[in-house]
Structure 1
Amino acid sequence: MSLFRTKSVERALDTGPHSLKRALSATDLTLLGIGAVIGTGIFVLTGIAAATKAGPAITLSFIVAGLASIFTALAYAELASTVPISGSAYTYSYVTLGEFIAWIIGWDLILEYGVASAVVAIGWSGYFNHVLEAIGLTLPAFLTKAPHEGGWINLPAFLAILFMSTVLAIGVKQSSRFNNVVVFIKLAVIALFILVAFRHADTSLWHPYVPFGWTGVMSGAALIFFAYIGFDAVSTAAEEARNPQRDLPIGIIASLLICTLIYILVSGLLTALVPYPQLNVSYPVAFALARMGEHLVASTIAVGAIAGLTSVLLVLLYGQSRIFFAMSRDGLLPPAFSAVHPRFMTPTRVILATGFLVSLVAGFLPIHEVAELVNIGTLSAFILVSISVLVLRRTHPDLPRPFKTPLMPWTPLLAIAFCAYLIASLSAFTLMSFVVWTAIGLLVYFGYARRHSHLAAGVSGSPAR
């Protein structure tokens, strides 16, 4: 039976009145991915992972995480070009593995994007406060710290999310233009860092290269995997791409390859500037340059970091809103989440509602203690996407595929193996917290989603991803 005659996929492709405006080109999608990938990984996590996990071998950690991402990206590209509908891994799981598995991964993606957005906003706040102090302005301490840190609220983080949610609500093309400008600024300051760092690099600091052993390399890869969720966000834009069959694979693969090369180069230079144990700071790139006496460049990098984290925040909030939107169109969440604004042609309600909730998390909760949950949610999604490619190839071998994953079945199998290995490298607390979150999701599914599902009810023309 053709895929397009199955009940689930007919609903996947029939979005009805709940459709989004197609406004994004391949360049927009590539920059969207770069906007999400280049940010926290370079400006925050690189130094922490080098100092506490991998040492100079952080470059190997990025290669391992990059390989897992590249193998998965090839699977994403095939599914995104075949089923070009909003919803990312949730959509692909829905079509190939069924509604129940799709609900689980959708629930995990909500956690992934929500926690990631809050973590990035808190990092953004730290850089923002640093720049304010550099120009002689200082916010009261109680407005820059969450209650558990002795303050009242992390106000910059709170307001940053509200502002970016408003930008998203105005329209995806306007958001894309804003993101493109920010990405160019970010890439410019990274190029500046590379040029200056080459003058000061001392490769003797790379010895010993693997001070924590292979276990440290893998632990570092599990930590910095946070940085690689950008191409997943690209796939959430499937329904807003002008030519999704062609542009989505380009956006996904191009953004991932560009970002992986940048990460390897920057992390190698960073550990050649400063002894790796000293990099356990929240602003490692600016810190390393300041240690070299390049204070003006360090200040410029700090401003660039704000731009970089801003674009990451934009894409993460975008991705989360589209997951809610897709699940609501299937009846698994309340219908208000799939309402499209008649003027802006965006799911304004869900953008503003989720943005407000994430702003509360960033402003009031100790989100850094559960940041690894982002990684386990991402890795779980990647595993299911890889399984989906294998299932779809077996059940519908004649399905038109504008982009085909090469070296089948080894590419998705390698993606599954790499992702499972990285999950095993995460802490026991993270694994247990993930189990708890999934259990809550099951309660919501059997308490609400299953009874309101359009697919189960057989609603004619019901919207899906």
Structure 2
Amino acid sequence: MKFNLLRKESLSRYLGADKNFVKSMTAFDLVAMGVGAVIGTGIFILPGTVAAKTAGPGVTLSFLFSAIVCALAAMCYAEFSSALPVAGSAYSYGNVVFGEIFGWILGWALILEYMLAVASVSTGWAAYFQSLLEDFGIKIPKALAGPFDPSHGVYINIVAVIIVLLVTAMLSHGMQTSTRVNDVAVVIKIVIIILFLVAGVFFIRKANYHPFLPYHMSGVFRGATTVFFAYLGFDAVSSSAAEVKDPKKNMPMGIIGTLIVATVLYMCVSVVLTGMVHYTKLDVANPVAFALQVVHQDWMAGLISIGALIGMFTMMVTMTYSSSRLVYSIGRDGLLPSFLSKLDKHGTPQIAVWTVGIIIALMGGLVSLDQLTSLVNIGTLLAFTFVSFGIIPLRKRKDIGNRGGFKVPLFPVLPIISGLACLAMICMLSKETYIGAGIWFALGLILYFSYGYRHSKINTDR
């Protein structure tokens, strides 16, 4: 057998393998899924803390500049998902365009991103929910209220485990049921945000906007690098391409639409929040709730908590779904055991869904994730970088047609700018993140060379 790490997958095999998925998702479902992933608790926290520490009222511009950088990557994802309407997102794109070893590295990075993100958010959801229960006089025993730490009498975060398993059970019933629940949850979340905006706008004081740029434009740009990560998650939409009606039209609408809705919401919250309270007072744990208390609108604090819970729930739905489709895709290619790619009679990869759900539940319930969440960023940015630069070899492939589909404008300038911007973001990550990522990728390469390469379904003779 000739040893070839750059052997490439064919689009036709992917389309054939994914044809049993039920194509039920619309552009609205995709936007709801994307907004569900991008708009979480961060919208109630980041605008305030970044305003206080870095950008002042100019935090609104920080969100705008970050959105522009993300828009470049979003357009590249939109073209890929239009040209390659298959499951697996950047993993599958890498296999087709760059070769199997690059696809594997991207897939391994995305597994880390998605699963860590959900596990981390599940612990946040548990903390909010436990706080809500305590308001009603219900207290969860200490032994069941945190990560495994026997020396302090704590054994498992039972609420985090339960919420992840509930999300997994919902996804196991298929995407038609899941998208209906997710769509409703996202609408409720947006309504709560709009209620805050409508209530808050009456308490805006122009004096709070002065000075608008207390840390100058350099502060705005520093703020942009911080809030950039608030947008991560829109890429998860691309993992659903095999289950979308008319993907050439709906995938670009879903990806770009997600970014537009998220940007408008983040910027509006920033404008209202910094108008209600002077930016110097917003360096608190929950700036939105604090601002409402300052203007004596305590009645909305409960709504904000509900909005945060729903925001985290929809994020867990999208990322768990994306994780399962990613694991399905890697199993489909033989790089992980092929039983992970089996679909049930309803077109749902049940084994992949429950495998992912159980692993995430154990991580959220037993492991302290504080030091690991930064690895989410490097996994995402790595995928962004490859997808951005990948547009160039994609356009050269005569066997992949994208007639009538979305194409990145100003080719090849915008894809190159997008890739370079993502590389710049990677360079800003901490040394600890590089060390953690190095260990993770080393484990991934060991698994690939010991199992994946030999079991790959790519025809090495072609």
CA distance in 1, matches of 2:284, 2:361: 24
Counterpart pick for 1:430 among 429, 433, 438: 433
1:231 aligned onto 2:205: no
The whole-number CA distance in structure 2 between the counterparts of 1:59 and 1:413 is: 26
Residue identity in the other structure for 1:75 = C
Whether 1:361 aligns to 2:358 is: no
Find the counterpart in structure 1 of residue 76 from structure 2: 75
| 2: CA distance, partners of 1:368 / 1:213 | 32
Change (3 A) 1:274 1:359: farther
SS at match of 1:200: coil
1:335 to 334, 338, 344: 338
Change over 3 Å in CA distance of 1:112–1:219 after alignment to 2: farther
Residue in structure 1 matched with residue 63 of structure 2 by the alignment: 62
Aligned ranges for residues 111-122 of structure 1 at < 5 Å? 111-122=112-123
Q: State the alpha-carbon separation in 2 of the partners of residues 127 and 370 from structure 1.
A: 21
**Equivalent position of 1:3 in the other structure:** none
Query: Could you report, residue by residue, the CA deviation over 1:11-65 in whole angstroms, capped at 9, with x for unpaired residues?
Result: 222216x731111011111111111111132134444444444443332332232
Counterpart code for 2:438:
V
One-letter code aligned to 2:96:
V
Give distance in 1, aligned partners of 2:272 and 2:101: 46
Aligned partners of 2:218, 2:369: CA distance in 1, in Å?
Answer: 26
194-203 or 442-451: which moved more? Answer: 194-203
Task: Verify: 1:139 aligned to 2:119, yes or no.
Answer: no
1:346: which partner in 2?
348
User: Given the alignment, which residue of 199, 203, 213 partners 2:202?
Assistant: 199
Residue matched to 1:241: 244
Q: 1:388: Cα distance to partner?
A: 1.1
Structure 1 unaligned spans of 5+? 1-5, 460-465
| Cα distance change of structure 1 residues 44 and 143 upon mapping to structure 2, 3 Å threshold | farther
Alpha-carbon separation, structure 2, partners of 1:348 and 1:395? 34
Cα distance in 1 for partners of 2:431, 2:174 equals: 41
d(CA) in 2 for partners of 1:122 and 1:107? 23
Contact 1:51 1:279 in 2 (8 A): yes
Match for residue 463 of structure 1? none
Distance 2:197 2:181 in 1: 25
SS in 2 for 1:201: coil
Q: Distance in 1 between matches of 2:63 and 2:313?
A: 22
Residue deviations 1:146-189 (CA, integer Å, cap 9, x gap)? 24594332222221111101100111110000000100100000
Contact 2:162-2:361 within 8 A present in 1 as well: yes
Name the count of aligned residue pairs.
Answer: 452
Q: Residue type of the partner of 2:244?
A: A
Name 1:418's counterpart in structure 2. 421
Contact kept in structure 2, 1:65 and 1:225, CA below 8 Å:
yes
TM-score by length of 1: 0.90
Shift of 1:139: 2.4
In the TM superposition, residue 426 of structure 1 has moved relative to its aligned partner by 2.0
User: How far did 1:412 drift?
Assistant: 0.9
CA spacing shift, 1:456–1:234, aligned 2, 3 Å? same
In structure 2, relative to structure 1, the CA distance for the partners of 1:449 and 1:7 (3 Å cut) is closer
* Matched residue SS, 2:276: coil
Q: What 5-or-longer segments of structure 2 have no aligned partner?
A: 1-7
Match status 1:407 vs 2:430: no
Give, in angstroms, the shift of residue 436 of structure 1: 2.0
| TM-score normalised according to structure 2 size | 0.91
Question: Partner residue of 1:377?
Answer: 379
What letter corresponds to residue 34 of structure 2 in structure 1? G
Distance, in Å, in 1 between the alignment partners of 2:69 and 2:145 is 36
Deviation of the 1:443 alpha carbon: 1.2
**What is the aligned counterpart of 2:308 among 299, 305, 309?**
305
**Larger mean Cα displacement after TM superposition, 96-105 or 205-214:** 205-214
Q: Letter of the aligned partner of 1:8 in structure 2?
A: S
CA distance in 1, matches of 2:373, 2:434: 12
